[in-house]
A and B are shown apart, each in its own frame.
Chain A
C-alpha cells in the first residue's frame, strides 16, 4: 500500500465501505506516513468547509413569500 493507493480509497475508507483487511492496511500506512495523515485531515476539512458553504435554511421571510406565491398559483 503506497500513498497513491491510500488517496484513491480515501472516500471509501471514511465511509466505512472497505473490507477489514484493506482498512488495516490503510491504518498501518497512515500510522507511519505523515503525508497521508495530512492529506486525510485536509480531505476531511474540505468536506466540512463545503458543508458550511451551504448550511443555511430558507429565511422565514422567504418561506412566507414562497407560500404566498404558491397559494396564489393554486387558486388558478
Chain B
C-alpha cells in the first residue's frame, strides 16, 4: 500500500486514509476537544503524509510515524487557536496533591451507578480537557489506541518510565475527579 502511494496511486492513498482516518480523528478530538479543529487536522495530516511519505524510512512502524505527524499538527492547531489555556506540569502536581488515598466514595460498586454514567462521562471529558497535552497524548495512545509503553515512548520521544508515570498520574487525576463527583452525588 505504501509503495502504491509513493508511485502516486490514488486508490492506494484512499485505502490508507480509510484505514487511519478514525485513529487520527480520535487523537485530534482528544487533544483539541473541537470537531472543526479535528477535521482540519485530519486534512493537514493526510496531506503531509502524502507529500512526505518518501521521507518515511521504515525505521519505525508506519503508524508511529503517522502519529508523530498527527500529534505535531494537533499541537500546532492548539497553539494557533487563541485563548487556549496551556496547562503546565505544575498544575498537574497541584491536581495530584488533592488526591487522597483514604476516603474515596464507593462509586464503583453502586447499583444505581449506571444512571450516572452519562454525567460521569461529562465529568471525565472536562477533566481530560484540563490535563496537559503531554498527558492526554499518552492516555490516548495507550488506553484508546492500545500502543505499548515502548511504542508510545518512540512516538512521543519519551523514556518508558516517563510514559508509565504520565499514564498512571493522568489516570489517577481522572479517577479523583470522578470520585469527587460520585461523592457529591451519593454524599
Contacts and interface: CB of A to CB of B under 8 A. Distances in A.
B171 A52 contact: no
Contacts of A41: 108-109
Nearest to A3: B101
The binding surface of chain B is classed by DSSP as: helix
Contacts of B174: 46, 49-50
A51 B104 contact: no
Contacts of A22: none
Category for how many chain A residues contact B: 35 or more
B46 A58 contact: no
Given A43-B175, A53-B125, A63 B18 contact: yes
Closest CB pairs A-B (n = 3): A41-B108, A57-B22, A11-B168
Interface of B: 10, 13-14, 17-18, 21-22, 25-26, 29-30, 39, 42-43, 46-47, 50, 101-102, 104, 106-109, 117, 120-121, 124-125, 128, 139-140, 143-144, 149, 164, 167-168, 171-172, 174-175, 178-179
Given A11-B168, A53-B128, 16 more contacts: A10-B168, A11-B164, A42-B178, A44-B108, A52-B121, A54-B30, A58-B22, A63-B21, A66-B21, A66-B39, A66-B46, A67-B17, A69-B43, A73-B47, A74-B10, A74-B47
5 contacts: A11-B171, A39-B104, A46-B178, A58-B22, A66-B39
